[in-house]
């Protein structure tokens, strides 16, 4: 029988303990905001801006670019996808690139106009780094222009055009993605570190033994922790959303469908933290196991960057982490307003939470024998 009075009494003691210990407040509330400010600032300009590419036009006639090659360069420029930096024809292109710490470049060969008008095959050289996003853009744009020129020469005309649209509600920036990611981060770390610490310490200090001499039950003790961390999560959520929106102009969808995540998320990680804490022999070993569980999850669940940029095998691993579904679910609601898949994520989280909670309660012993 769960007594609300006892849960509330324990909740009061828990909240005071948390608020009076500075680490608690810092870690759960201040630290995620600091992360948001740092990451938000780092990525606030970045990848959506034009890519720098170096261009060398070797097709000169009397020291001046030929009409065809100039037109090609002009076409590259007009896409506004790249910021073109001209390289003198006399320079060694590769050396020039290296000395400017870049790997992206386009070289128009000498004889471009002559070959082009005569219909003889010629090659535009595109320099790039296969792994780099910027290189993909450079080669993509160059191909597009090359095709356009080829088509023009063949006398054809464009039938199909491309109109660029954004999938997200109002256009996504990195910050829109970062907010759900950091909320997920907070939902993971605040309860995990606290509960691993408390559970293993209380076990060592025989505080659980002592509490077993009072009417307080294990379920009530756990429930009070869950309630507290739900409250912390909601506070953290409000704080981070406010910072994201007012400091970085983020666009988020605030929907009631967020609430289940803010409740079941903490429930899952309070249980997990307690499981690790009570299953370990000492606070030191508990901390090691807790960190082993928390840190990989923290980075590989789509919190700071989308998992799509990771290799496939790592993406598979990400799907094992409960946090992945929390972050994906939050993203589905806040960024894409895609409730259906969000609910599936919620179901997965709920199922995992029940299993972990069950295990935690079974292993959580207050008496010895």
Partner 1 sequence: MPSVVVDSLRKSYGGLKAVDGISFEVQEGEVFSLLGPNGAGKTTTIEILEGLRDKEGGKVSVLGMDPWKDGYELHRKMGIIPQGFRFFDYATPREAIRYYASLFDVKVDADKILKQVILEEAASINYNKLSGGQRQKLGLALSLVNNPQLVFLDEPTTGLDPQARRAVWDVIRELKEGNRTVLLTTHYLEEAQMLADRVAIMNHGRIISSGTMDEILEREGSGERLEVKASESLANFLKTETRLKVEYRDGIVSVLLEKPHDALITLTEIEESGIEWRSLRTRSDTLEDIFVRMVGESTKEAGEVV
Q: Per-residue string for binding with partner 1, 299-338, x by CB under 8 A?
A: ----------------------------------------
Choice between 26 and 295, CB closer to partner 1: 26
Residue ranges in 180-219 that form contacts with partner 1 under rule CB under 8 A: 205-207, 209-210, 212-216
Residue 362 in the binding site for partner 1 (CB under 8 A): no
Nearest distance, CB of residue 255 and partner 1, angstroms = 37
* Beta pairing partners, 54: 85, 105
**How many residues are listed for the chain in this entry?**
369
Choice between 117 and 205, CB closer to partner 1: 205
Choice between 20 and 120, CB closer to partner 1: 20
Nearest distance, CB of residue 226 and partner 1, angstroms = 18
Cα separation, 322 vs 327, whole angstroms: 9
Instruction: Output the CA torsion 143→149→153→159 (10° steps).
Output: 80
* Beta pairing partners, 107: 56, 125
Nearest distance, CB of residue 1 and partner 1, angstroms = 11
Handedness of CA 17, 23, 28, 29 (dihedral sign): positive
Residue 104 in the binding site for partner 1 (CB under 8 A): no
- Interface pick for partner 1 out of 62, 64, 155, 369 (rule CB under 8 A): 369
Residue ranges in 20-39 that form contacts with partner 1 under rule CB under 8 A: 20-21
Residue 117 in the binding site for partner 1 (CB under 8 A): no
Q: How many residues bind partner 1 (CB under 8 A)?
A: 24
The torsion angles phi and psi of 105, rounded to 5 degrees, stand at -160, 160
Cα separation, 61 vs 64, whole angstroms: 5
Residues 6+ apart with CB under 8 A from 46: 174
Please state, in angstroms and as integers, the Cα–Cα distance from residue 123 to each residue in 69, 80, 112, 184, following that order. Answer: 12, 23, 9, 49
Nearest distance, CB of residue 239 and partner 1, angstroms = 23
Alpha helices, DSSP H, located in the chain: 4-20, 22-25, 31-43, 67-78, 93-99, 112-118, 133-153, 174-204, 207-211, 218-248, 258-279, 283-300, 312-318, 322-334, 339-363
Cα separation, 40 vs 224, whole angstroms: 34
Choice between 110 and 209, CB closer to partner 1: 209
Residue ranges in 4-23 that form contacts with partner 1 under rule CB under 8 A: 5-6, 8-10, 12-13, 16-17, 20-21
Nearest distance, CB of residue 9 and partner 1, angstroms = 3
**Starting at the edge strand that comes first in sequence, how are the strands of the sheet with 51-57 ordered?**
82-87, 51-57, 105-108, 125-127
Choice between 16 and 83, CB closer to partner 1: 16
| Closest to 97 in 3D by CA, of 121, 146, 132 | 132
Choice between 16 and 153, CB closer to partner 1: 16
Choice between 19 and 292, CB closer to partner 1: 19
Choice between 147 and 214, CB closer to partner 1: 214
Residues making contact with partner 1 (CB under 8 A): 5-6, 8-10, 12-13, 16-17, 20-21, 205-207, 209-210, 212-216, 367-369
């Amino acid at each position: 029988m769960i007594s609300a009075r006892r849960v509330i009494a324990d909740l009061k003691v828990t909240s005071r303990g948390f608020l009076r210990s500075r680490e608690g407040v810092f870690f759960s509330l201040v630290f995620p905001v600091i992360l948001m400010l740092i990451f938000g600032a780092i990525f606030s300009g970045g990848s959506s801006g034009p890519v720098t590419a170096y261009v060398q036009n070797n097709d000169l006639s009397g020291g001046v670019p030929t009409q065809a090659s100039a037109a090609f360069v002009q076409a590259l420029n007009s896409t506004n996808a790249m910021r073109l930096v001209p390289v003198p024809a006399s320079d060694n292109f590769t050396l020039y690139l290296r000395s400017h710490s870049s790997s992206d470049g386009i070289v128009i060969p000498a004889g471009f106009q002559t070959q082009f008008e005569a219909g003889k095959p010629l090659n535009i050289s595109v320099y790039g780094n296969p792994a780099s996003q910027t290189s993909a853009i450079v080669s993509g744009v160059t191909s597009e222009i090359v095709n356009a020129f080829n088509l023009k020469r063949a006398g054809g005309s464009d039938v199909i055009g491309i109109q660029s649209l954004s999938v997200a509600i109002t256009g996504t920036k990195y910050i829109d993605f970062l907010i759900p990611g950091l909320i997920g981060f907070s939902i993971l770390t605040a309860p995990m570190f606290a509960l691993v610490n408390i559970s293993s310490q209380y076990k060592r200090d025989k505080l659980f033994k002592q509490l077993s001499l009072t009417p307080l039950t294990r379920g009530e003790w756990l429930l009070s922790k869950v309630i507290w961390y739900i409250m912390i999560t909601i506070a953290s959520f409000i704080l981070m959303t406010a910072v994201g929106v007012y400091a970085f102009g983020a666009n988020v969808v605030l929907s009631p469908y967020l609430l289940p995540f803010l409740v079941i998320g903490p429930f899952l990680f309070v249980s997990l933290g307690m499981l690790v804490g009570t299953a370990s022999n000492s606070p030191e070993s508990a901390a090691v196991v807790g960190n082993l569980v928390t840190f990989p999850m923290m980075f590989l669940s789509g919190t700071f960057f989308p998992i799509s940029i990771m290799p496939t095998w790592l993406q598979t691993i990400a799907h094992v982490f409960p946090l992945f579904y929390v972050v994906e679910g939050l993203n589905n609601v806040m960024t894409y307003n895609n409730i259906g898949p969000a609910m599936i994520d919620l179901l997965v989280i709920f199922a995992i939470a029940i299993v972990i909670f069950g295990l935690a309660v079974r292993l959580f012993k207050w008496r010895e024998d």
